[in-house]
Amino acid sequence: MASPEVTSALQAIEGTSVTDKPSRYASLLQQITTSSKNPAADLNAYARTLLDDSLGVVVLRPLLANFVDQFRKITDPDVKIDVGEKVIELLQSKGVGQYEEQDTQIKEILADACEENEDYRKSAQILGTINLESTQKSLSNDDKAKVWIRIVRCYLEEDDPTSAFTHLNKVKNVIYSVQDKQTRLMFQLSQARIHDSQRNFLDAAQAYYTMSLEPMVDEGERLQALSAAIVCAVLAPAGPQRSKMLAKLYKDDRANQVDDFPILEKMFFDRLLSPAEIKTFAEKLQPHHLAKTADGSTVLDQAVLQHNLVGASKLYNNIGFDQLGELLGIDAEKAEDYAAKMLEQGRLSGYIDQIDRLIFFEGEGSGERKTGHAERIVGRELRKWDANVQGLAEEVEKVTTMIQNQHPDFYASQMVH
């Protein structure tokens, strides 16, 4: 409830002439913001009286602008939230169209207060109500992108990549024309974080790596981005595309400055990872990196298991199901299942002999999905046949050339016939 002094002052202002009201409203607002013991209640009473007063737009708009300036100086976020929400409601009931600029500014201040209280979802929801298609003021794509990017970052703080992605798509439609470099950087970083949160680790690794090369970014933050790229590359599904990403990261001169360089090096050289190394690495990961998958294992478990399977393919020409399971720390059936999926998806090259319970490895995976071992064998034999035919044709051509050079008359006579 407003203090008696403020209530009395507001009643007195209501009874004065229109010409005196602006100065008296301004004076009372100054008094409330500097000395009120209950600023939330007093400011709410002030705003309610001001917006209920029968002042014209020409008089009211500068008074609202002054209110926004004083409102911004309040340091207590709870007071800002209490007052800001009520003022927005009052503007809505009055018809916000005439006061869009002040409405937008109050919402931005309110969003700041929510973020200060770590209520990022509420901040995003408030920012989402800002009218970016204003009829009073034409907003540039830079202005719109800044609001949308801020919403994206708030949802990411709430670990809600789905809502973040919805607003990131709005930025994608205008990013080509955005001039502000900071906004463009935030767009790139948001893309990386969304890919990361949605476990699209290869895309996330590439996006983080691109950020790590950006000269506008502070050197320390570039190394953080490089570290995030390494983590995502490690967690990505094993295969040719991941190998290319690991190679790119390993060959970066800055990689050895990152804590996770040892695991990157082992991954790059397809060396088997020990349980102790995995445990140390896992301690640094975020919760979504350790989320459970359908078979009960974590994302990290699957990434390491698939990597070690690729590592085993470098050490052995063939291996039994039981021996592979022992090497990977899982049962034989699970080892066979993982190997079969990776062979089918082209992330390993080889085939399975289920009668003898053996897996045969045949070099690097192609990255292309296989339709079956028989088709692979036929394809390989056809390539051999093509190579043999090509070789025979080349030899015949050589002999023909030799005859032409050494016995031109004979060659010419044969060509006539």
Q: What is the pLDDT of residues 294-343, one digit of tens each?
A: 777 788 878 888 787 877 777 778 888 878 777 777 777 777 787 787 78
Strand, coil or helix: what is 291?
coil
Residues 223, 3: Cα–Cα separation, whole Å:
54
User: What Rg, from alpha-carbon coordinates, does the chain have?
Assistant: 34
The per-residue pLDDT for 374 is 46
Q: Are 125 and 85 in contact (CB under 8 A)?
A: no
The per-residue pLDDT for 416 is 58
The per-residue pLDDT for 69 is 93
Strand, coil or helix: what is 360?
strand
Strand, coil or helix: what is 292?
strand
Strand, coil or helix: what is 256?
helix
- In this prediction, the residues of the chain whose per-residue pLDDT falls under 70 are 96, 135-136, 363-386, 411, 415-417
**Amino acid (one-letter) located at 409:** D
What's the gap between Cα 299 and its chain centre?
Answer: 17
Cβ-Cβ contacts under 8 Å for 12 (sequence gap 6 or more): 24
Q: Residue 33, Cβ neighbours under 10 Å: how many? A: 18
Residue 213 exposure: Cα atoms within 13 Å on the Cβ side: 11
The per-residue pLDDT for 105 is 93
Q: Are 197 and 159 in contact (CB under 8 A)?
A: yes
Q: Are 50 and 25 in contact (CB under 8 A)?
A: yes
Q: Residue 333, Cβ neighbours under 10 Å: how many? A: 10
Residues 316, 310: Cα–Cα separation, whole Å:
10
**Amino acid (one-letter) located at 40:** A
Entry pTM: 0.70
The per-residue pLDDT for 363 is 63
Residues 216, 207: Cα–Cα separation, whole Å:
16
